[in-house]
Amino acid sequence: MDSSILLQILVSGLLMGLIFALIAVGLTLIWGVMDVLNFAHGEFLMLAMFISFWMFSLWQVDPLWSLPISVAALFATGVLTYHLIIKKVLNAPGLTALLATFGLSILIKNLAQFFWTPDFRHIQGAILSDKTLSFFNLHLSLAEVVAAGGSGLITYLIYFLIFKTKTGRAIRAAALDRDTALLMGINIDRIYALTFGLGGACVGVAGALLMNFYYVFPGVGSLFTILAFVTVALGGFGNITGAFLAGVLIGVVETAGGVFISPVFKYTVVFVMYLIIICIRPKGLFGW
Amino acid sequence: METSALSLLKKPSALIPLLILFLLPWAASNIHFHHVLIMFMLFATLSQAWNVIGGFAGQVSFGHASFFGIGAYAALVLLKKFGLTPWGGMLIGGGLAVVLAVLIGYPVFRLKGHYFAISTFAVAEIVERLFMNWDFVEGAIGLPAPVLKENLINFMWYKTKIPYFYIAFVFFVLVLLLAYRIERSRLGFYFRAIKQSPDAAEGLGIDTTRYKMVALIISAFLTALCGSFYAQYILYIDPPSVLSLDISIKIVLVTVLGGAGTVIGPILGAAILIPLSEYSRILLGGTGKGVDLIVFGALILIISVFQPQGVAGFLKKTGKQ
Amino acid sequence: MMKKLLGSLVVTAAIVFTFGALMAEAADVIRIGSIYPLTGAIASSGLRSKHAIETAVDVINNKYDMDIPFARTEGIPNLKGAKLEIIWGDSQASPEVGKTEAERLITGEKVPLIIGAYQSGVSKAASFVAERYKMPFVCAESSSAELTERGLKYFFRLAPTDAEDSIAFFTFLDEMKKKGKKVERVAIVYENTEFGVHAAGEAKKQAEKKGYKIVANIPYPFKSTDVKSEVLKIKAAKPDVILQASLLGDMMLFAKTFKELKVGFNANLSYCGGYHDPSFVLNLKKDAEYFMGQCTFSPDFITKKPVLGKINEMYKKRSGVDFDGVTIEAFTSVLVVADSLNRAKSTDSEALVQALRSTDLKTPTLPGDGVKFNEKGQNIKIISNISQIQNGQYRVVWPGEMAAAQMVWPFKSWEKR
């Protein structure tokens, strides 16, 4: 095969993978710290994308400038979700939290359909729209490059927060052993709320960046949710670097698998790879 | 500790509702009403089957649709291509499901908690994708049932749902009795031990992998039988309708809502969720505003937040007072 | 205590069930069942069809001065002006729900006829039910040729099949070949669902029959997160022409990815799907230009037949967009139903089926100007055109005698615009 196509596969896969990674980082944070499967994560993404869309289509605010708004809104959504819902189901058998977030995801998805109709929406004419960087035979969508770069940046920021700050230490403590952390005087309630908020914020960034090149409709979350879960499991629960690298791996495997085997199996290849890796390393690539 | 399954039927609290259920189709000849009853029993049975591995043994599987789909396809494909009666196809489907269970069980049971759960749906997605692209089962185009005479051997009826109702009723009762028996037997004890603390169970000398496998085999077989029933009931299947993640999730949802790990949980969950989704769609779905699903989602949310132990837990609590 | 609670819960459940059982009583207008995907993945399309059908009901039930069948009268004349009422069933885009809704509409709501159901898979399942109850099923828009090959006696379909569309596409390509254009290398791209797989099958049949080279056969999973691998494969195959069977979401991704990865081709021809959705142009604006597809409606028709403009305005008020092929087929299906009710002078299913079989309805709403069914239930008067998006409008570009605009060939790659 043409070597330029090979390189294109690698690069395109990398870009897509970084976007999966960003969505996964928020999820792995919540999962690692509170052991909660946030089924509504995809719907949070959808909300972030819709915020970007409406800001652009009603007030011509470019998604790049409305990004902080998406982030703030989703941070608030995360905190609210924690206080109103998650807090109440933390002590229940694990499946109940799942049920709750699942109910939440159906609710959000259909409220979105109720208010915004099921129509597909897309942005044209934003700063990043439709610009391609071309090096010889390699073509990269500028919007995707920015999204990928944003993903890297945010992942680094989260990593920095968790490992190099006092708050981060508190989060890690709560994740490791909740009861001891409580004894040590850590306000678990606030830490959990913060974690959920951060998870939401990550997806807020992802949504704002995605809106530059993707389309949104109330059901868009489900497309990404499944891959996000697999990414998190592959990287190891609670492991930020793991989620990041797993996302990249999945992006590349998906694109390569699609080209070399068949596009219908592009996700199947990812799942098979997941199963193989998880059998060799039962806690994911970097799980602890 | 060993109780006869049939002793459940001696209790009036079980016998009376079952009798009412048995007679319910005659309360109204509305076909849609019969449909809702059949779906209720189907999902109660499916969830009870899932309960064996997910509720009693605590291994949460999100991939049960693969067993369901295998059962569905086995019945219809063997009927269509070889003229085999669906009752035979059903048993073959059950067998194939068991084979799949064993194949994936051994490697995947080493995984804990969420890793296991995600592996189950990775497997289910792979199975669905394979069926989508397998020409022998007509792949994405879908498989309609051949048009045959309405009778028991062909396992199909067109004008009435009553035979389907009673077949489903028999499945429902049998699986209920089985679950009741398991719960009160040594097997059930081992399952609960594995669920509570796998390490402690190992320490007690329980071969956890073996017993998890037993639970999965029972669960897979019963789920496949339900799939075969479904295929013969709907008379048209395609991979999204019998192999998708939605079905796996629905089964888990019903069980957890009602109370996983209890015998009555799946029944309560199905009794609430199935009529809710059917009637909300009928009453509100026609507007296209998704109001029925808004109500659905909100109710699931409310129940899970205010009754984390599921409806069964709520009943137990109030029962103790 | 627990037992008492349990008992009462069961009794309550029984009451709820029974309530459900007793729902729905007949009213005294003419009630017609309609099954469309009103929620779920394809809700936006399902809702538009709903608006089209409601527009048709409005036209029939009220008095309008226009040359559309039943516009100038109120209701069904031969049934003493009885008005139509649509009883909706939401298929949720799933064949089993479609089947259940068909059963409910027939046995519970007691409708004598059903129209629907958008997706071929759902139409298949729902029409089986209708056939068993000996009720007519009028399918406006499902394209799978198989629907009229099942030997059903109560099934009728208005839209052209993907078999006819394929024949149209390749007849068109033959013409281009004679003009010296490069069309030999054909790539077929399709979603891995009933719609896509069936359309692709028909395309392959025609391609082989007429000696075209299929350089790429690309099925892909419906609703993808991205289509990079698909487009890279297409690019590597260097096709002259791409035949596409995609719904809106994936179609948008394909268009953008073709642009991004600089894939060149002479034409992209779509089966009835995303290309036709008004949101395609609305969302992609200039990037949607020059795509082509099968066509059963275009604003060009309004220039030739101004009455279409009037109903377009009515439809637009409800849906916010212009008619497209799928929605005007839905609109016309209601006219067909009204016509058969009128000629049957009855709401009895058998009489309706007889009337439907002998339909010969003149209507300006479809190309071919009429609806007539052959013994398989297929509308033989419908003609498939080809349209192309130019300046944000669907312009009819083929066949020559119907063309309203000059075709732009080859497909102008984005740098050249």
Predicted pLDDT at C21 = 47
**Dihedral angle sign, alpha carbons of residues B44, B50, B52, B55:** negative
The span from the CA of C41 to the CA of C63, in Å, is 36
A283–chain B Cβ distance below 8 A for any pair:
yes
The span from the CA of B60 to the CA of A73, in Å, is 33
- Look at phi and psi of residue B205 and say left if phi exceeds 0, alpha if psi is from -120 to 50, else beta: left
Q: Where are the domains of chain C?
A: 30-159+303-372, 163-302+385-416
Question: What is the average pLDDT value for chain A, to the nearest integer?
Answer: 89
Mean pLDDT for the stretch of residues B292-315: 80
Among all residues of chain B, which has the CA nearest to that of C16? B275
- A286 within domain boundaries: no
| Percent above pLDDT 70 for chain A | 98
Residues of chain C with pLDDT under 50: 1, 21-27
- Count of structural domains within chain A: 1
Predicted pLDDT at A287 = 67
The span from the CA of C383 to the CA of B113, in Å, is 58
C30-159+303-372 and C163-302+385-416 share one fold: yes
From the centroid of its chain, how far is CA A195? 14
SS3 B239: helix
Task: State the smallest CA–CA distance between residue C99 and chain B in angstroms.
Answer: 8
Select the more confidently predicted residue: B97 or B198: B97
Per-state percent for chain B, helix, strand, coil, to nearest 5: 75, 0, 20
A124–chain C Cβ distance below 8 A for any pair:
yes
Is residue C197 within 8 Å of residue B140, measured between CB atoms?
Answer: yes
pLDDT level of residue B321 (50, 70, 90 thresholds): very low
Spatial neighbors of B235 by CB under 8 A, at least 6 apart, are B144, B145, B156, C99, C128
List, in sequence order, every residue forming a beta bridge with C216; answer none if it has no partner.
Answer: C187
The span from the CA of C368 to the CA of C13, in Å, is 55
Question: What is the average pLDDT value for chain B, to the nearest integer?
Answer: 87
Question: In the 8-state DSSP scheme, what is residue B55?
Answer: I
pLDDT, tens digit (0-9, with 9 covering 90-100), for C362-384: 999 998 889 999 999 999 999 88
pLDDT, tens digit (0-9, with 9 covering 90-100), for A114-161: 899 888 899 888 888 878 888 888 888 898 899 999 999 999 999 999
The CA dihedral of C89, C90, C94, C96, to the nearest 10 degrees, is: -40
From the centroid of its chain, how far is CA C119? 8
A57–chain C Cβ distance below 8 A for any pair:
no
Nearest by CB to A102, which of B125, B300, B308? B300
Predicted pLDDT at A111 = 92
Select the more confidently predicted residue: C165 or B112: C165
Mean pLDDT for the stretch of residues B200-224: 90
B241–chain C Cβ distance below 8 A for any pair:
yes
Mean pLDDT for the stretch of residues B208-218: 91
The span from the CA of B217 to the CA of B223, in Å, is 10
Q: Which of A56, A47, A87 is nearest to A196 (CA)?
A: A87
Amino acid symbol at B54: G
Residue B98 pLDDT more than 60? yes
Interface test with C, best of A6, A10, A11, A12 (most C CBs within 10 A): A12
Q: What value of ipTM does the predicted structure carry?
A: 0.86
Q: Which domain holds residue A79?
A: 3-109+127-219
SS3 B251: helix
Predicted pLDDT at C17 = 56
- A19 within domain boundaries: yes
Question: Which residues of chain C have a CB within 8 Å of the CB of B241?
Answer: 94-96
The span from the CA of B170 to the CA of B157, in Å, is 17
From the centroid of its chain, how far is CA C353? 22
CB contact under 8 A, C192 and B140: yes
Residue B40 pLDDT more than 70? yes
CB contact under 8 A, C14 and B282: no
From the options 3.40.50.2300, 3.40.50.720, 3.30.70.360, 3.60.21.10, give the CATH code of C163-302+385-416: 3.40.50.2300
pLDDT, tens digit (0-9, with 9 covering 90-100), for B157-177: 887 889 999 999 999 999 999
Maximum average pLDDT range among A224-238, B103-117, C310-324: C310-324
The structure's pTM equals 0.89
Question: Which residues of chain A have a CB within 8 Å of the CB of B47?
Answer: none
| Percent above pLDDT 90 for chain B | 37
pLDDT, tens digit (0-9, with 9 covering 90-100), for A256-277: 999 999 999 999 999 999 999 9
A42–chain C Cβ distance below 8 A for any pair:
no
CB contact under 8 A, C100 and B28: no
CATH number of C30-159+303-372: 3.40.50.2300
CB contact under 8 A, C284 and A124: yes
Question: Which residues of chain B have a CB within 8 Å of the CB of A90?
Answer: none
Angle (nearest 5°) at CA C329 between C324 and C334: 135
A285–chain B Cβ distance below 8 A for any pair:
no
Q: Find chains touching chain C: ≥3 CB pairs under 8 Å.
A: A, B
The span from the CA of A36 to the CA of A20, in Å, is 19
- A284 within domain boundaries: no
Nearest by CB to A264, which of C47, C219, C235? C219
| Percent above pLDDT 90 for chain C | 65
Q: Contacts from C305-313 at CB under 8 Å and sequence distance 24+?
A: C305/C364, C307/C66, C307/C67, C307/C68, C307/C364, C308/C364, C308/C365, C310/C64, C310/C66, C311/C55, C311/C59, C311/C66, C311/C68, C311/C365
Question: Which residues of chain A have a CB within 8 Å of the CB of B115?
Answer: 233, 237, 278, 282-284, 287
